[in-house]
Amino acid sequence: METETRINGYERKNLKSGRKLDFISDDEVYLGSLKDRFQKNLQAIKLSKIIEQENRYATKQEQEILNKFSG
């Protein structure tokens, strides 16, 4: 398994599963109050860090949370 060193200094293994990765699309990502969007963004960022630390792909349920990130 290959490894790569990222810009932030973390070394990460390149996973090759051979499976198609599709994120669930939600047209309502930008709806809601600023507070609601902030909380969804924060939740997505925390989850993203966990997934990256565990060096794995997001599950379908996790993809739904990550898809609510609006920047």
Q: What is the pLDDT of residues 52-63, one digit of tens each?
A: 999 999 999 999
Q: What is the pLDDT of residue 52?
A: 94
Does the pLDDT value for residue 25 go beyond 70?
A: no
Q: How confident is the model at residue 21 (pLDDT cuts 50, 70, 90)?
A: low
pTM for the full model? 0.62
Q: What is the pLDDT of residue 10?
A: 62
Q: Which long-range contacts (CB under 8 A, 24 or more apart) does 10-13 make?
A: 10/52, 12/52, 12/55, 13/55
Q: What is the pLDDT of residue 30?
A: 65
Q: What is the pLDDT of residue 61?
A: 93
**What is the Cβ-side half-sphere exposure of residue 38, based on CA atoms within 13 angstroms?**
3
